[in-house]
Structures are given as C-alpha cells and as structure tokens.
Amino acid sequence: MTTKKTESINRKEPGYRDLKERLGDFKEVERMLTTVEVREQAARCMSCGTPFCHGYACPLANIIPEINELITEDRWKEALELLLSTHPFPEFTARICPALCEGSCVKGINEQPVAIRQIEKIIVEKGFAKGWIRPRLSLNRRSESIAVIGAGPAGLAAADSLNNYGFKVTVFEKELNPGGLLLYGIPNFKLEKDIVNRRINLMREEGIVFECGVTVGRDISFNYLKKRFSAVLLTGGTQQPRDINIPGRELKGIIFAMQFLKAQNKKIIGEPLAPGEDITAEGKKVVIIGGGDTGSDCLGTALRQGAKEVYQFEILPRPPELRPEDNPWPLWPQIDRVSSSHLEGGIRRWSVTTKKFEGDSKGRLKRLQCMEVEWLHKEGRQVPVEIEGSSFMVEADLAILAMGFLGPGPDPLADQLDLKRDQRGNIAVDANHMTEISGIFSAGDMARGQSLVVKAMADGKVAADSIKVYIDSEQQERS
C-alpha cells in the first residue's frame, strides 16, 4: 500500500510508557510508532531539492528523503539497505540521537519536523525482526591486522568499516564488555543493553575479535601493537570528568555522574561491582550538579532507585522555549528540552551555583550551600554574577557531579607515546584522523572532545577510510 503525500498529517511522537510502570523498572521508556504512523510521517517529507537533514545536519549523511520515499511505497527492505549504506548501527541512534536532522528539517520552518528518528527505529527493528540484518562476511580478506583501542561507538564503527574492507580487526577494551558509553554510561531506560549486545554478537560473527579487560598501554605495550598490527586507532573516549573545587569537596557522598551510572549499568548487565562501587540513591536526598543530558540520566536513575528527593541544578539560565533570533533554522535549536526523566519527578533549577558542601562529624555530606546567579554581558561575553541575598541551603546525602568532561585525561598509551594534544587536551589529529605518529590514528570523543554517539560513529568511519588509504599507500611504496 502506498501512502499519498499529504499536508494534513501532523508530527506524531510515540510517547513514553506509563509513568508509574516505567519508574518501577529500567526498561526502555519510549514507545514505537506503528507501521501506519511511520508511513504517515515519511509521507510528510517534502523531498526537498536541498535536503538539509541529509546534506547538512546528519553527521552520517543518512539519505533521509529517499528513505522516506521508499517507506511511503512500503519498500522496507530497500529502505533498510539505503539506511545501512551510510549508517553502521541505526538501532543505537534510533533511540538516543538528539536527531540533529530534525533540527534542520525544512518542514520544521513552519510546522513540526518529520519524525525522522522514529522512522529510523522502525526500519532497523523490522530489519532485525524479519532477519534481513545478518552477519556480513567479507569476501576479500586482506593480510593486514588493525588494532582498535576502545569499544565505544567510534571504535565499533571503525571496526565495522575496517572489517568490511577485509582487514583483520582486533578491538581492545579495558572494561569487561564492549560498548563504551553505550553500555556503561547511557541508562538502560534509554538504550537497553540487549540492543548493544545484539550488535556486538553480530560483529563477532562477522569476524571482529574483541579482547576485553585489557587496558592498552598498561597491560599491553606499544611495542607489542607495533609488531602485530599495521595501524592502530585510538578511540578511548573522554575519561576525565569536570570537577568542582569548592570547600567540602572531600566529603563522602560526592561522586561523579559516571560512577553512579556505571554502577547501575553494571548491575543490569550482571557485572560484579568492585568494593565501594555499589552506589545507590535509595532513600537519599540527591542533588545533581549539571543540567545537561548526563544530569538528566542521573535523575531518571536516582528516581528508579528510590531516591527520597532529587534536585538538578544548572548554572546557565533556562533556555528559551522557541528559537531565539540569533539561532535561526537550519542551526540546531538551542531551546529548553524536557527529557523523559524530567517528566518523572525531581526539581530542576537554573542559574544556580554551588558555593560549598557541608558535612557531619563523620565527614559525610549533609547539605549544599548555593546561590542564584544572573548572567550579565561583560567585556564581550556573558558572565554569571551572584545575586546578593539569594543564598540558600539544600539538604543532601548524595551529590552527583554531571558537569561534562575535560577530554581524555591521562591515557596510558597516548602518554607512553607522548602524543601531542590539542588546546583542549584531546589527542591532536590531522584531517585524516592521523596523529603526529605515522600509522597511529585517533577518533571519537578522544580526538574531538565530549560529543554525541552519531558524531563518534561518523568519525570512526572516516578514520577507517583513512587507515585503508594509509595501508594501501604503504603497500604501494613497498612494491
């Protein structure tokens, strides 16, 4: 059945599972649109002459208008093939991508954008359900081996491309399982771990080797890598969280967001927790410092664990509901976003700075002293200025720091090789993702700084292409 292009259908969101039900588990909160609803969304696509979703916004350059056209004609398998021609793992972004494409959808100028992420989700899930997504076995095996260090989205995307080119690929990962932040950072209620494992199993069947529980640079040396591999790709992510240097920081009960999220994810995948790693918000008063997505993930996790109350504080002012004039289409809209976790509970506050942590006689966190700030334009930039008399206290026995990351931080292999860093502490690379050392590449958050899954994957793919060019040219030089 073909869905006719129609002007009368609005954007449709699938919505979330019932609030009470979803707070009682860690399962995926977002529902799926039906096949009919997805076809209707695809039919809203205007097949623009210059599709900004595809050419400008999606880092993977997904061919969105053509995919939509195929869906309206019920040609699901072809739509899947077209999606997979640019995108290695749509099942991840279909759940957790902010959908940069939708921010630039031409339909979004006057109406609501097409629900592109939802279309992606049903295509890929149909692909798995119908058995269309199967291990792809590379027919042209090559003799060269490549080492990928770090099994997050950047490393996985690179490994996938390199394996398709015929190289022998080994992915080293310091954690016990591959997935990076897909597995250990992003909560199960946004991306179920079975979805990650389903892909890893497929990659194993395709011939990619995963060596987990190995910290490269500590457990194995560069000399070992040099002997065994023709090229090395570093995709270790951003490991250094931003800290807060205020009185009382040393108190017990102040932790980084990743400590908190990782503990919960490890429980879900059944990994043992090291002593002191089992942190829970159960029965606690929790303050999350940081109003971004990671903070929102901590909020949803704390509520599910049974926190008594949860605050989320952000130093920046609340973003506007609609695009401001200096943020026009097709730029990504810098607007206030409400996540599924925000709808579940907790109190959000903006323009709040934390001045001090206070504890009890046993050195345990008891409260935070905070102040409101106003943002003033000074010397050409916006600066926070504390508002006199706005000081307030909030009781807490758990404070979670979710203020972003400061790059890869110390890294055993990069430090061993004394690899050059850029101004922000990321691994410095050229346009081909090569570091200053020939044959050593870097991609994903480790080279670009804290970012998004879709950007890490796009980087991984580009780095894989550059590695192929590098190895081919080395071969030509030798022959």
Ligand X SMILES: Cc1cc2nc3c(=O)[nH]c(=O)nc-3n(C[C@H](O)[C@H](O)[C@H](O)COP(=O)(O)OP(=O)(O)OC[C@H]3O[C@@H](n4cnc5c(N)ncnc54)[C@H](O)[C@@H]3O)c2cc1C
Site string for ligand X, 193-232 (x = CB under 6 A): ----------------------xxx---------------
Closest CB 378 distance from ligand X, rounded Å: 32
Q: Which does 99 bind (CB under 5 to 8 A by kind): ligand SF4, ligand X, none?
A: ligand SF4
Q: Alpha-carbon distance 26 to 418, whole Å?
A: 42
Residues numbered 167-196 forming contacts with ligand X, rule: CB under 6 A:
172-175, 180-181, 185-186, 190
Find residue 358's DSSP bridge partners: 367
Neighbours of 274 (CB within 10 A): 9
Residue closer to ligand SF4 by CB (options 24, 55) is 55
List the strands of the sheet with 231-234, edge to edge. Answer: 209-212, 168-173, 145-149, 231-234, 440-442
Closest CB 181 distance from ligand X, rounded Å: 3
Residues numbered 385-444 forming contacts with ligand X, rule: CB under 6 A:
411-413, 444
Residue closer to ligand X by CB (options 40, 102) is 102
Q: Which does 344 bind (CB under 5 to 8 A by kind): ligand SF4, ligand X, none?
A: none
Of positions 80, 279, 434, 454, contacts ligand SF4 by CB under 6 A:
454
Neighbours of 46 (CB within 10 A): 14
Closest CB 406 distance from ligand SF4, rounded Å: 26
Residues numbered 26-65 forming contacts with ligand SF4, rule: CB under 6 A:
57-58, 60, 62, 64
Residue closer to ligand X by CB (options 270, 380) is 270
Residues numbered 119-158 forming contacts with ligand X, rule: CB under 6 A:
149-155
Label residue 388 exposed, middle or buried (CB < 10 Å: 0-12, 13-18, 19+).
exposed
Q: Which does 60 bind (CB under 5 to 8 A by kind): ligand X, ligand SF4, none?
A: ligand SF4
330 upstream amide cis, omega within 30 of 0? yes
Q: Which does 153 bind (CB under 5 to 8 A by kind): ligand X, ligand SF4, none?
A: ligand X
Contact 204, 210 (CB under 8 A): yes
Q: Does residue number 68 form part of the binding site for ligand SF4 (CB under 6 A)?
A: no
Binding part of the chain for ligand SF4, among 97-105, 123-131, 180-188, 312-320 by CB under 6 A, reads: 97-105
Q: Does residue number 100 form part of the binding site for ligand SF4 (CB under 6 A)?
A: yes
Q: Which does 69 bind (CB under 5 to 8 A by kind): ligand SF4, ligand X, none?
A: none
Q: Are strands 352-359 and 365-378 parallel, antiparallel or unpaired?
A: antiparallel
Contact 427, 408 (CB under 8 A): yes
**DSSP category for residue 186:** S
- Nearest 5°: phi and psi at 322? -115, 160
Q: Does residue number 235 form part of the binding site for ligand X (CB under 6 A)?
A: yes
For residue 392, what are its two tokens? 């307030």
Q: How many CA atoms lie within 13 A of 207 on its CB side?
A: 19
The contact set with ligand SF4 (CB under 6 A) reads 57-58, 60, 62, 64, 93, 97, 99-101, 116-117, 120, 454
